Amino acid sequence: MRILITAGGTHEYIDPVRFISNASSGRMGYALARAALKAEHTVTLVTAPTSLRIPNGAKVIRVETAAQMFEAVKKHFRLCDCLIMAAAVADYTPARPAKTKIKKTGQSVTLTLKPTTDILKWAGKHKNEGRRTKDDRRIIVGFALEDKALRTRAEKKMRNKNLDMIVANSPSVIGAEKSNVQIKRLDAPWIRIENNTKSAIAKEIIHLVEKLQSSLK
């Protein structure tokens, strides 16, 4: 399969030297890239800034902002068989970033934010563009980070964004070596993976993607 994977947390610039971001380490996305490569798939990795070592064999596209990640996904989406959106894409970005460094004045500053493009929703809407037949479906996998009503909110996200699979977890997974996750495919029961490494979780996700692809043929 040709698998397109996003990873890391985007940087949304306030001025040329300051940005707002999140605590994502990018480890899950990179683990997915390595697991997919080990399973002999072709991998394109769209990565926001991280300190992680690039997986050998992956085609890497480096981005910083949510807008840049969206453009990269759009460019490569048509050629992929599966998109796995593991990146922590900012939901908001500064509406009017300053062109020069904002000077400290001692006064309060109000920062106005505007929504970023929902990349996962766009992908779900265009899921089967460019596919040869109705049985030749593209697979889309999303992640849901929820602090309450995890399964309910994750299933709602999966259906609203036309996903084939959702990986749900809590904020405690951010930066952690081991994680608890729950995975749901359409018309299949939840799968729970507890206290396991991100490498092991990534391997299972790729395995489930492969099974899903086989079932669509």
Catalytic (active-site) positions: 22
- Output helix, strand, coil percentages for the chain, rounded to the nearest 5: 30, 30, 40
Burial class for 101, CB neighbours closer than 10 Å (0-12, 13-18, 19+): exposed
Taken in order 24, 30, 35, 40, is the CA torsion positive or negative? positive
CA angle 22, 203, 212 (to 5 degrees): 100
Task: Report the alpha-carbon distance of residue 91 to residue 88 in Å, rounded.
Answer: 9
